[in-house]
Chains A and B, each alone.
Chain A
Amino acid sequence: MIFRDKIPQREGRLLCSPRNPELEAQKWCQSYSFRSFQQNVIIVGLGAGYHVDEFVQRNPSLHVTVLEKDESLIQSFQSSKKYRSSGLHGSPTIIHVIDADEFIKSDIGLDLLLNNDGVFPFKPCWQGAEKFFVQLFLNFNQKHQDSYQKSRAVVDWNSNEESLWKCLREMVK
Chain B
Amino acid sequence: MEVFTGDGEVKILCVSLLRFGDLIQHLDLVSSIRAQNENAEIHFLINDNCQSIAGLLPGTVHVFPRQVMQYHLVEETGSSLSAMKHLHEVVQTLNAENFNKIYNMTHNQLSYHLMSLLKSSEQFGARPQFAQDNLWAQYLNGPWQSSDQPNFSLVEVLARSMNLPIPALHESRPVEKIKHLVLQVLTSDQKKNWGFENFKKLIQLVRAGSSEIKISILGAPDEKEAILAGFKDLQDTAAVEFQFLKWIEVQSFLRQADLLVTGDTSILHLAAQIGTPTLSLFMGSGNIYQYSPRQKKAVVLAAQSHCYPCPASQSCEQPEHFCSQSIKIETVYNAIFEKRSESMYFVASTSTESLYFSNDSLARHLEKAVWQFWLDEKIEEVVPPYASTTKEYLNVIAENESLSSDENLKEEVIHFLRARKNENENFQLLLEEFADSFRQEAAGILGLGTESGTVMFAPKSTAPTLFLRRWRAAFLNAEYKSDYSSQLKFLLNAPVFDFRFAKQIKQATEELSQLLEIEIKILTIAENEMKERSSSYVARTGRLSSVSAEAP
Contacts and interface: CB of A to CB of B under 8 A. Distances in A.
Contact of A148 (B65, B81, B117): B81
B325 interface: no
Nearest to A35: B71
A141 B80 contact: yes
A168 B81 contact: no
B173 interface: no
Interface residues of A, number: 33
B93 interface: no
B424 to A, nearest CB: 42
A163 B117 contact: yes
B69 A160 contact: no
B126 to A, nearest CB: 12
B79 A140 contact: yes
Contacts of B315: none
Given A118-B71, A118-B77, A148-B81, 11 more contacts: A32-B77, A114-B81, A120-B77, A121-B76, A157-B84, A160-B91, A163-B117, A167-B87, A167-B110, A171-B73, A171-B83
Nearest to B75: A118
Given A160-B88, A160-B91, A170-B110, A118 B78 contact: yes
Contacts of A114: 81-82, 85
A170 B81 CA distance: 16
Contacts of A164: 84, 87-88, 91, 117
B109 interface: yes
A66 interface: no
Tell me what chain B mostly uses at the interface: helix, strand, loop, or mixed. helix
B67 A151 contact: no
Interface string B102-122: 000000111001101100000
26 contacts: A35-B67, A114-B82, A114-B85, A118-B78, A121-B77, A140-B79, A141-B76, A143-B80, A155-B85, A158-B88, A158-B92, A163-B116, A164-B84, A164-B88, A166-B116, A167-B110, A167-B117, A168-B73, A168-B84, A168-B87, A170-B108, A170-B109, A171-B73, A171-B110, A172-B74, A173-B109
Contacts of A140: 79
A142 interface: yes
A141 B78 contact: yes
A116 interface: yes
Contacts of B34: none
Nearest to B84: A164
Interface in B42-70: 65-70
Contacts of B109: 170, 173
A141 B79 contact: yes
A140 B117 CA distance: 26
A142 B117 contact: no
A120 B75 CA distance: 11
B70 A113 contact: no
Interface string B12-28: 00000000000000000
A151 B81 contact: yes
A39 B77 CA distance: 14
A117 interface: yes
Contacts of B71: 35, 37, 118
Interface string A100-122: 00000000000001101111110
Given A35-B71, A37-B68, A141-B77, A157 B116 contact: no
Nearest to B108: A170
B46 to A, nearest CB: 15
B114 A167 contact: yes
B70 A171 contact: yes
A160 B85 CA distance: 12
B113 A166 contact: yes
A117 B65 CA distance: 13
Nearest to A34: B77
Contacts of B78: 118-119, 141
Interface in B124-178: none
B82 A116 contact: yes
B77 A119 contact: yes
Interface in A124-152: 140-143, 148, 151-152
Nearest to B81: A142
Given A143-B80, A166-B113, A168-B83, A155 B88 contact: yes
B66 A143 contact: no
Contacts of B108: 170
Interface in A31-62: 32, 35, 37
A119 B78 CA distance: 6
A142 B79 contact: yes
B134 to A, nearest CB: 25
A113 B82 CA distance: 8
B304 to A, nearest CB: 33
Nearest to B71: A35
B83 A143 contact: no
Contacts of A163: 113, 116-117
Tell me which of A37, A121, A143, A165 has the highest count of chain B C-beta atoms within 10 A of its own C-beta: A143
Contact of A119 (B66, B70, B79, B110): B79
B233 to A, nearest CB: 34
A53 B80 CA distance: 27
Contacts of A155: 81, 84-85, 88
A153 to B, nearest CB: 11
Nearest to B80: A142
B76 A143 contact: yes
A171 B78 CA distance: 14
A121 B92 CA distance: 32
Nearest to A148: B80
B82 A172 contact: no
